[in-house]
Copies of this chain bind each other. A is one copy, B any other.
């Protein structure tokens, strides 16, 4: 299953850190790609590409003007993460493992059309919290906890896990 994340409505002035965290966490937890819509922000794309250069893997970040184009061209299933959706713990088993998955996440105001286009509207809890956390928990669950130990080829930096302290190998 190839997973692409579509992050809606990025605002360059207000959201750079939140949107960067979204990109980094979905890379770390096994997604293949993130596409941002909203205001174009080359600095955001560059910061995620930079992490890939250092820390490895094939994760891609890009910008697309309209979310509708992405959804229209998508071949596979679509999930929309929203606090109003069905509980992730109930729904996750319905998602087929043999089809590509587009995971859409808002944005302040998500157009109602997104709810309609999604095969599943899914809540990671039905409480207000964070799109970053929703993406993280959703990916950890959809991948059944396996991608948390994913290896990233061609890294120039790699952490060697320590009980106390920091160890990085530079290659």
Contact = CB atoms under 8 A, between A and B. Distances in A.
Interface of A: 17-18, 21, 24-25, 27-29, 51, 55, 82-89, 112, 115-116, 118, 120-121, 123-130, 132-137, 140-141, 145, 148-150, 152, 158-159, 161-168
A161 B86 contact: yes
A87 B149 contact: yes
Contact of A89 (B55, B86, B132, B145): B145
Given A17-B17, A55-B128, A128-B51, A86 B148 contact: no
Contacts of A87: 148-149, 161
Residue among A27, A55, A125, A127 with most chain B CB within 10 A: A127
A159 B83 contact: yes
Contacts of A29: 125, 129, 133, 137
Contacts of A24: 127-130
B140 A127 contact: no
A161 B55 contact: no
A118 B89 CA distance: 31
